[in-house]
Amino acid sequence: AQKITQTQPGMFVQEKEAVTLDCTYDTSDPSYGLFWYKQPSSGEMIFLIYQGSYDQQNATEGRYSLNFQKARKSANLVISASQLGDSAMYFCAMREYSGGYQKVTFGTGTKLQVIP
Amino acid sequence: KAGVTQTPRYLIKTRGQQVTLSCSPISGHRSVSWYQQTPGQGLQFLFEYFSETQRNKGNFPGRFSGRQFSNSRSEMNVSTLELGDSALYLCASSLGDREGVTDTQYFGPGTRLTVL
């Protein structure tokens, strides 16, 4: 089974609108961390937001928020007021500590295109 | 604080040659991880170094190796290059808290390797 699943290969959003990028995960560890990264066409992965499995509240960072539904094992990224510069690939990732090792797993990504 | 730097940014090699890529982490970060990104396979974990020791390893052949120096800088080496090694190689640094799932990875701009 995939550890991280991003079911939307590509998405379009109108400028200034909000958009939700989906991410579901699979783990049996009670302690884990969830991350979202943005990768523009230049290639660099930019850290956006983090959510811990024990965090009671959804994480927010400026226009980014994470809709964390632990029972459903989902960690969707919400971008409010989309801007043209938001056009990029977005990756969801999970960090687990299991069996004495840390492991970071990335999803396959969602390509977001913001339309003027 | 300076970010993660990678050199060189672009490389062109021919089959059979070897290549060395370099990564300088954020000051104070002791963990360096390497990833290979290709359109077909996505983002794949190569290995992680912490305090000059390989702490974690992905599923790559022995042609891929790495090391870390006392100043936390890391190098990755690929010997006997194959066409399929053409990829974006990303380096990520983090504090390296062994059991901490909050440990956030920050990525460099990547090295784009083309094998002819």
Question: Per residue, what are the HEC states of chain A?
Answer: CCCEECCCCEEEEECCCCEEECCEECCCCCCEEEEEEEECCCCCCEEEEEEECCCCCCCEECCEEEEEECCCCEEEEEECCCCHHHCEEEEEEEEEEECCEEEEEECCCEEEEEEC
Q: What is the pLDDT of residue B41?
A: 86
Tens digits of residue pLDDT in A27-86 = 988 889 999 999 999 999 999 999 999 998 999 999 999 999 999 999 999 999 999 999
Give the CA angle between residues B61, B63, B103 to the nearest 5°. Answer: 70
Q: Read off the tokens for A108.
A: 């396959």
Closest-approach residue (CA) in chain B for A99:
B99
Q: What is the pLDDT of residue A1?
A: 58
Q: Does a cis peptide bond (omega within 30 degrees of 0) precede residue A30?
A: no
Q: What is the pLDDT of residue B103?
A: 84
Residues of A with Cβ-Cβ distance to B107 under 8 angstroms = 37, 44-47
The CB-side HSE value for A56 (13 A sphere, CA atoms) comes to 0
Ramachandran sector of residue A41 (left: φ over 0; alpha: ψ -120 to 50; beta: rest)? alpha
Tokens 């049996």 belong to residue: A28
Give the span between the Cα atoms of A55 and A78, in whole angstroms: 17
CA distances (Å), A15 to each of A20, A48, B78, in order? 14, 19, 43
| CB within 8 Å: A97 and B43 | no
Closest-approach residue (CA) in chain A for B39:
A108
Averaged confidence pLDDT in chain A: 93
Q: Does A91 touch chain B (CB under 8 A)?
A: yes
Quote the percentage of chain B above a pLDDT of 90: 83
